[in-house]
Amino acid sequence: MTDAGARSTARSTARSTARGLAPILWSAALAVLLLGGALGPGYVLTYDMVWVPDLAVTPDVWGVGTALPRAVPSDAVVALLDSVVPGMLLQKLVLLALLVGAGAGASALVGGRSLGVRVFASTLMVWNPFVVERLVIGHWPVLVGYAVLPWLLLVCRRWEAGSRVPAAVPVLLVLGSLSASTGVATAVALLAGGWRRGARRRAAGLVSMAVVANLPWLVAGLLHSADATSAGSGARVFAASSEGPLPGPLAALSLGGIWNAEVVPTTRLGFLSVVWLVVVGALAILGWLAQRRTAVQGWSALVVCWTVGVGLAMLSWAAPGAVGALASHIPGGGLLRDGSRLLALAAPLTVVVAARGVESLLGWTPDRATRVLVAGLLAVVPVALLPDAALGASGRLDAVDYPAAFSDARAAVQAAPDGDVVLLPFTSYRAPDWNDGRKVLDPLPRFLGRPAVVNDELYVDGRPIPGEDPRAREVGEALRLATPADRATALADIGVSVVVSEQIAGQDAPEVAGETTYAGDGLTVTEVAGDVSVRDAPVPWVVAMVVAWLAWAALLVGGAVVAARNRFRTRQ
């Protein structure tokens, strides 16, 4: 090859690499802008998102506690990883990685289109109401699953009939199944993307892999089946909801409509939500028309995912009574009560079809300069239409430090006799001053590093939604007894050895008899007086969960080993 030829090849390779990296770098820039203060020193503590310096491996983490396994397997994964990477750093890496992964995945799913189209796809996937609302409410495992979806659909699209299972599939499945609802979404995407007409063995393989990837929470849920039905009233409360001027169905179409009005960005309550729907809707219609001329690869899988995601959201909005009946009579039916959680499934089609619309628009531009200008403009449209998502949802995701008293209380609790911890006031949520008054699931149960009995009763609009944990009910009854000595005896009988009381204005913490081993900065640690009847998990439960975890780990490790081996062979 001549020098000129070599230079031309090198330039072409560099250009191709830059084009491949651009959506990733763009997604990273968007992720940094979106997370803002979340990336500063400290922990992001918002609603259900609770990260601590070192999450202990307790029975609840493995799914053999008495509470419903809502954080299985995500807590187990965090508990194992944060023994290698500090919890603070791990949280930031996870939040960054899921956003970059989602943006890069959308770009890859759109395929070999122009750079402007792929960058737009990244923006829309990273910067939309679903991502912002789920970030603020703290559903990070849902967002990990959301980031997995485009990659899973892409791998399934390339998975030819008759060939072996791509090594990435089991890894993506496990990553995308860190909680029950996101596991369901990932399974739907796998079946929609991987199913081929007439291929029965392949279909059986898909179902088997989806089951194994979800086995930890499935088995834990079955073990708790006696308590695994949720209050039907929750379905009405958690149904997909209107957002500002958009009624529920239109909010769902624009990837919003979360039940909790407190986590909705303020601009979604005004005219910008309508502009968002009109602009993205117009691009989607353009893209759909273009798709009819030249089919998008994997179109049917995208449509199936979208239909399931939007369909369930609309069902919860239109018929919350039916969803409530499902939740209150069928164990696990409560998975569907948060109607808009599975809207993650609608994002891949929305992004692909809107990106196709952008491609059509760019095709009408008269010259390259105009094309670049229009592409640049469109790439920032999703940001401009949801501007208060920037800088950690306008500061709502700012990281904070735990008070020093938490570490002192942890040391006192660790030194207490065997048994469980109870946190007082016996309520599930806090809004501490040191978290800028922002609500968060009480972080102490995770921070203290001991099994804890937590009140799983929730209050929404000031009205209670009953919990499911029978042990929490027992603790509640013990705390209602007349004297501190009676409370201590009753708590000891049900296996509680230590009580941590927090001073919260307006909320009472009943006194419990015992020895105070720590008191400071609003926290009191009391070792309960009396003989504690420590309760171990039933042996059959432990055996069942060990089998489930081993199968889950085998799927993950097997996939990772095959992927590494394939990569090694390719490089050779």
Partner 1 sequence: MNAGLIGPIVSLVAGGLLASVSVFGLISSQTAAPSKSPANAEAPAFDYGTTTE
Question: Shortest approach of partner 1 to residue 42 CB, angstroms?
Answer: 21
Asked whether the beta carbons of 454 and 420 are under 8 A apart, the reply is no
Report the nearest approach of partner 1 to the CB of residue 116 (Å): 12
CB of 35 to partner 1, least distance (A): 18
State how far the alpha carbon of 398 is from the alpha carbons of 42, 83, 391, 394, in Å. Answer: 9, 24, 9, 9
**Token reading at 394:** 């306008």
3-state secondary structure 222-247: HHCCCCCCCCCHHHHHCCCCCECCEC
Give min distance, CB of 373 to partner 1, in A.
4
Closer residue to partner 1 in complex, CB, 59/138? 138
User: Please, which residue, 203 or 274, has the CB nearer to partner 1?
Assistant: 274
CA distance 47 to 460: 13
Going by the DSSP 8-state scheme, the letter that residue 266 receives in this structure is G
| Residue closer to partner 1, measured from CB, 226 or 505 | 505
The residue among 34, 43, 47 whose CA lies nearest residue 262 is: 47
Q: Rounded to the nearest whole angstrom, what is the least distance from the CB of residue 390 to partner 1 in the complex?
A: 9
Judged by CB, which is closer to partner 1: 296, or 381?
381
Q: Is the peptide bond before 73 cis (omega within 30 degrees of 0)?
A: yes
Taking alpha carbons only, the member of 146, 151, 126, 144 closest to residue 27 is 126
How wide is the angle at C-alpha 409 spanned by C-alphas 405 and 414, nearest 5°? 150
Nearest CB to partner 1, comparing residues 209 and 422: 422
Report DSSP letters for 293-346, one per residue: HSPPTTHHHHHHHHHHHHHHHHHHHH-HHHHHHHHHHSTTGGGGSSTTGGGGGG
Beta bridge partners of residue 518, listed in sequence order: 525
Closer to partner 1 at the Cβ: 217 or 259? 259
Identify which of residues 371 and 535 has a Cβ nearer to partner 1 in the complex: 371
Residues contributing to the site for partner 1 (CB under 8 A): 47, 137, 237, 241-243, 259-263, 265-267, 269-272, 275, 365-367, 369-371, 373-374, 377, 380-381, 383-385, 387-388, 394, 425, 427-431, 437, 439, 457-462, 505-507
CB of 258 to partner 1, least distance (A): 9
Residue number with CB closer to partner 1 (270 or 520): 270
179 Rama class: left (phi>0) / alpha (psi -120 to 50) / beta: beta
Question: Which whole-number Å values give the CA distances from 342 to 183, 238, 312, 339, in the listed order?
Answer: 10, 12, 7, 7
CB of 237 to partner 1, least distance (A): 6
Q: What gap in Å lies between CA 390 and CA 379, rounded to an integer?
A: 15
Instruction: Report the alpha-carbon distance of residue 306 to residue 292 in Å, rounded.
Output: 18
Q: Rounded to whole angstroms, how far apart are CA atoms 309 and 345?
A: 5
Give 508 or 531: the residue with its C-beta nearer to partner 1. 508
Query: Which residue, 122 or 455, has its beta carbon nearer to partner 1?
Result: 455
The residue (of 264 and 491) whose beta carbon lies closer to partner 1 is: 264
Do the beta carbons of residue 336 and residue 239 sit within 8 Å? no
In 425-566, beta strands by DSSP E: 429-430, 440-441, 452-453, 458-460, 463-465, 496-502, 514-520, 523-528
- Smallest separation, CB 255 to partner 1 (Å): 17
CA angle 62, 66, 71 (to 5 degrees): 45
> In the 8-state DSSP scheme, what is residue 387?
G
- For the bound state, the minimum distance from the C-beta of residue 542 to partner 1, rounded and expressed in Å, comes to 32
> Measured from the CB of residue 570, what is the shortest distance to partner 1 in angstroms?
42
Residue 567 contacts by C-beta under 8 Å, 6 or more apart in sequence? none
Q: Whole-number minimum distance, CB 261 to partner 1, in Å? A: 5
